[in-house]
A and B are shown apart, each in its own frame.
Chain A
Amino acid sequence: DGGITQSPKYLFRKEGQNVTLSCEQNLNHDAMYWYRQDPGQGLRLIYYSQIVNDFQKGDIAEGYSVSREKKESFPLTVTSAQKNPTAFYLCASSPGLAVQTSYNEQFFGPGTRLTVL
Chain B
Amino acid sequence: GDSVTQMEGPVTLSEEAFLTINCTYTATGYPSLFWYVQYPGEGLQLLLKATKADDKGSNKGFEATYRKETTSFHLEKGSVQVSDSAVYFCALDTGRRALTFGSGTRLQVQP
Q: Size range of the interface on A? A: 20 to 34
B93–chain A nearest beta-carbon distance, Å: 5
* CB of A53 closer than 8 Å to a CB of B: no
Measured in the bound complex, the distance between the Cα atoms of B42 and A109 in whole Å is: 8
1/0 per residue, CB under 8 A from B, across A79-117: the answer is 000000000001010000100001111111111010000
Overall SS of chain B's interface? loop
Contact A102 B43 (CB under 8 A): no
Option from B45, B49, B51, B89 in Cβ contact (under 8 Å) with A43: B89
* CB of A61 closer than 8 Å to a CB of B: no
Q: CB within 8 Å of B: which residues of A? A: 4, 6, 33, 40-43, 45, 48, 56, 58, 90, 92, 97, 102-111, 113
Given contacts A4-B43, A102-B32, 17 further A-B pairs with CB under 8 A are A41-B103, A42-B101, A42-B104, A45-B97, A90-B44, A97-B95, A103-B32, A103-B93, A104-B95, A104-B99, A105-B93, A106-B46, A106-B99, A108-B36, A108-B44, A111-B42, A111-B43
Instruction: Return 14 A-B CB contacts under 8 Å, by A number.
Output: A33-B98, A40-B104, A42-B103, A45-B98, A92-B43, A97-B95, A103-B34, A103-B51, A104-B93, A106-B99, A107-B46, A108-B45, A110-B43, A111-B43
